[in-house]
Amino acid sequence: MSVLEVKDLHVSVETEQGTKQILKGVDLTVKQGEIHAIMGPNGSGKSTLAYSIAGHPKYHVESGSILLDGAEVLEMSVDERARAGIFLAMQYPVEIPGVRMTDFLRTAKTAIDGEAPAIRGWVKEVGEAMGALRMDKSFGERNVNEGFSGGEKKRHEILQLELLKPKFAVLDETDSGLDVDALKIVSEGVNRAHAATDLGVLLITHYTRILRYIKPDFVHVFVDGKVAEEGGPELAERLENEGYDRFLQPSGVA
Amino acid sequence: MSIATTQTSAAGSEQHGARAHSDGGWGAATVPVQTRSERFSSTRHEDFAPVLGVEIDWKLTPVSRVKTLIDDELDGSAYDLADRGSSSGAAVEWIGMDDPRVGSAGTPEDRAAANAWSSTQKALSVTVSGDERIAVGLDRSGFGSAPRAAHTVITAKPNSQGHVVLRSSGPGVLAENVEIVVEDGARLTVVSLQEWDDYALHLASHFARVGRDASLTHIVVSLGGAIVRVNPSVHLSGEGANGDLYGLYFADAGQHLEQRVYLHHEAAHTVGRVNYKGALQGDGARTVWVGDVLIGRDATGTDSYEQNRNLVLSEGTRADSIPNLEIETGDILGAGHASATGRFDDEQLFYLQARGISEAEARRLVVIGFLNEIVQKVGDPELESYLAGRIVDELGAAS
Ligand SMILES: Nc1ncnc2c1ncn2[C@@H]1O[C@H](COP(=O)(O)OP(=O)(O)OP(=O)(O)O)[C@@H](O)[C@H]1O
Ligand SMILES: [Mg+2]
């Protein structure tokens, strides 16, 4: 059974005003097949956690560790992490001019698997996955994310999730900017991946509406760079009704 | 009324571009020092003043290293040609410099081009005619390292369709003129492919004249050579003429690749597109792009756009990029220019790596993606995939 562990993680970024601490001791354990929702106010460090797990060079890990089945993820390069089974669906997927989506997908699949996929089966698999996400075939000929709408970019992220079959996926606000239909389609994609490969999911979101489609086992409230409270699905309901106010007390009171 | 704008972006340690601003001047009210169409021209070497390296058209070139080509006597005899295109249906022949075809598209505007002109004894003439599309490959690899001159005249007869590739490889110290005449209704693509050895020196001037409802696609691909300077001047002379001027260059350590493009809209309803893209990688990799577009008094209803983009892949490189736009008529459809020199985008790299793709492979994808826009214009699938492969080689060679 695979497990992803984040232990006492401290992360900073360099800003024009100097070094800024963002994560201040995050502890989190996600086991294979579990779905964890992370909720929290803007600027609390959710994306920072996601990027730190994926290895974005902008974020400096000051201390702590991230273990994937006991192996130190922090010592791996970005691509090594992906090949080890970590996937990040980005809040703002990047446009890559001149790189066709089909070429990109095949290159990524080849890199992850260590060998090129058998061409016939692969074309069929991509076609079916795109169909399930209601993505027109013509997207395959387009450049990666170039000119995609916000919702199309998110579907493309989930398409990659389904095709690359990681062990753990961090979904950074995959639900934001989606209309109701798209939200449902994208959620179904996540659920398919979860069912097919016993995927472990770290679902970052502001809204409980996605939790109607993707049922979390655990909910973590993220405030000021740390997990402030943890619970089951009922915690999400409370946050929906009460907001984050009770967590935003002046520091030192707790 | 004459409007001139000029804009520069430079990458690397020096900011040479900042000085270049003063050449054209800023603001809508400023008239350039000299209108591009009024530049002096002659076929005689001695009519030009000695080149000091401070002149507007030479100051970004390492003049001292190409002195031989500018001033010395050059061997201007006929040379070996791998494929004379005889099987393709084009007429390929050596002609005297007194032949009326010589001089039909233009006259040298600098001392090196004039030196090449007066040194040449035999010019190579390529004529495309008839209704069928005719493809000609001119493979020049036997120049050797002695300084020499060359002259080529490519003519597309009325309503013909041609695709001509002028490829240079091997050693070479060459000054040359290439004339391109696209007669009424003809459609011609000319690809000038520079794949020289590391020590080669090459100064080329291309002159093109595009007739009524005719279309020229001109593509400069510079990959190899120590100093390669290819300056295309294209005149859209006939009403409704079309000029697509593309360029692709990849400079690695110590290489100087330069292109000074001049697109002159002479006639009404002409359409011009200039798009040059370059990559720089390695210490001392150096590129220069100057794009002068002139929309003449009679060129009403003109549509013109030019751009240059450079992708900087490592430290220690320098790219100069200077678009100039002069408009002499108020009645145009559109005219614009853009220039940008950017570093490799780390966010793109991160995105690809986050999908398991190694850094080297990610860089390859992005650079090929960037340059592919031009590769796709070549119009010959075999040559296009060959060029894509050569770009991969270039990336690997310097990293
Ligand atoms: N490069 C940076 N320079 C300066 N500040 C940064 C940088 N990157 C992140 N931050 C700051 O770190 C804090 C956490 O940012 P992060 O993006 O992780 O928040 P978030 O919880 O994902 O917010 P949101 O809900 O709005 O997506 C914010 O205050 C943000 O402004
Ligand atoms: Mg965020």
Is B363 a domain residue?
Answer: no
Q: Give tens-digit pLDDT for B29-73.
A: 344 446 788 899 999 999 999 999 999 999 999 999 999 999 999
Q: Give tens-digit pLDDT for A169-223.
A: 999 999 988 999 999 999 999 999 999 999 999 999 988 889 999 999 999 999 9
Residues 6+ apart with CB under 8 A from B61: B53, B227, B229, B256, B258, B288
Instruction: Check whether B278 has a pLDDT greater than 50.
Output: yes
Q: Suggest the residue from A14, A52, A59, A78 to mutate for an interface test with chain B (most B CBs closer than 10 A).
A: A78
Burial A163-191 (b: 16+ CB within 10 A, else e): bbbbbbbbbbbbbbebeeebbebbbebbb
B205, B238: one domain:
yes
B7, B145: one domain:
no
Last residue of a domain, one of B344, B373, B390: B344
Is B379 a domain residue?
Answer: no
Q: How far is CA B244 from CA A234, B146, B236, B376, in A?
A: 64, 34, 11, 13
Burial of A138 (0-12, 13-18, 19+ CB in 10 A): exposed
Confidence of residue B17 (pLDDT cuts 50, 70, 90): very low
B310, B173: one domain:
yes
Q: Suggest the residue from B348, B353, B355, B392 to mutate for an interface test with chain A (most A CBs closer than 10 A).
A: B355
- Do the beta carbons of residue A143 and residue A95 sit within 8 Å? yes
Ligand 1 environment, Cβ below 6 A: A 13, 15, 20, 22, 40, 42-48, 58
Residues of A in contact with B351 (CB under 8 A): 90, 93-94, 96, 144
Q: Where are the domains of chain A?
A: 3-247
Instruction: Check whether B10 has a pLDDT greater than 70.
Output: no
For A188, the enclosing helix (H) or strand (E) is helix A180-197
Q: Which of residues 62-81 of A touch B (CB under 8 A)?
A: 77-79, 81
Question: What pLDDT is recorded for position B342?
Answer: 85
Question: What pLDDT is recorded for position A239?
Answer: 85
Q: For A100, which DSSP code?
A: B
Parent domain of B247: 42-344
- What's chain B's average pLDDT? 89
Is B259 a domain residue?
Answer: yes
Picking from B345, B355, B371, the nearest residue to A82 by CB comes out as: B355
Q: Residue B288: left if φ>0, alpha if ψ -120 to 50, beta else—which one?
A: beta
B59, B142: one domain:
yes
The shortest C-alpha distance from A251 to chain B (Å) reads 35
B19, B118: one domain:
no
The shortest C-alpha distance from A18 to chain B (Å) reads 21
Confidence of residue B397 (pLDDT cuts 50, 70, 90): low
Which residue owns the Cα nearest ligand 1 atom 22?
A47
Question: What pLDDT is recorded for position B16?
Answer: 30
Which CATH superfamily does the domain covering A3-247 fall into?
P-loop containing nucleotide triphosphate hydrolases (3.40.50.300)
The tens-digit pLDDT sequence of chain A (254 residues) is 899 999 999 999 999 999 999 999 999 999 999 999 999 999 999 999 999 999 999 999 999 999 999 999 999 999 999 999 999 999 999 999 889 999 999 999 999 999 999 999 999 999 999 999 999 999 999 999 999 999 999 999 999 999 999 999 999 999 988 999 999 999 999 999 999 999 999 999 988 889 999 999 999 999 999 999 999 999 988 888 888 888 776 554 44
Question: What pLDDT is recorded for position A242?
Answer: 83
Is B166 a domain residue?
Answer: yes
Which residue owns the Cα nearest ligand 1 atom 24?
A42
Is B354 a domain residue?
Answer: no
B296, B189: one domain:
yes
B28, B146: one domain:
no
The C-alpha atoms of residue A124 and residue A120 are separated, in whole angstroms, by: 6
B261, B162: one domain:
yes
User: Which is nearest to A72 in space by CA: A62, A83, A81?
Assistant: A81
B156 touches chain A (CB under 8 A): no
Last residue of a domain, one of B344, B369, B394: B344
The C-alpha atoms of residue A160 and residue A84 are separated, in whole angstroms, by: 16
Which residue owns the Cα nearest ligand 1 atom 13?
A43
Is B373 a domain residue?
Answer: no
Is B359 a domain residue?
Answer: no
Q: What is the 3-state secondary structure (H, E, C) of chain B?
A: CCEEEECCCCECCCCHHHHHHHHHCCCCCCCCCCCHHHCCCCCCHHHCCCCCCCCCCCCCCCHHHHHHHHHCCCECCCCCCCCCCHHHCCEEEEEECCCCCCCCCCCCCCHHHHHHHHHCCEEEEEEECCCCEEEEEEEECCCCCCEEEEEEEEEECCCCEEEEEEEEEECCEEEEEEEEEECCCCEEEEEEEEEECCCCEEEEEEEEEECCCCEEEEEEEEEECCEEEEEEEEEECCCCCEEEEEEEEEEECCCEEEEEEEEEECCCCCEEEEEEEEEEECCCCEEEEEEEEEECCCCCCCEEEEEEEEEECCCCCEEEEEEEEEECCCCCCEEEEEEEEEECCHHHHHHHHCCCCCHHHHHHHHHHHHHHHHHCCCCCHHHHHHHHHHHHHHHHHHC
Instruction: Check whether B9 has a pLDDT greater than 50.
Output: no
B99, B1: one domain:
no
B21, B98: one domain:
no
Is B172 a domain residue?
Answer: yes
| Tokens read off for B244 | 């697509």
**What pTM does this model have?**
0.80
The shortest C-alpha distance from B67 to chain A (Å) reads 40
- pLDDT, mean of residues B299-315: 95
The C-alpha atoms of residue A119 and residue A111 are separated, in whole angstroms, by: 15
Provide the number of structural domains found in chain B.
Answer: 2
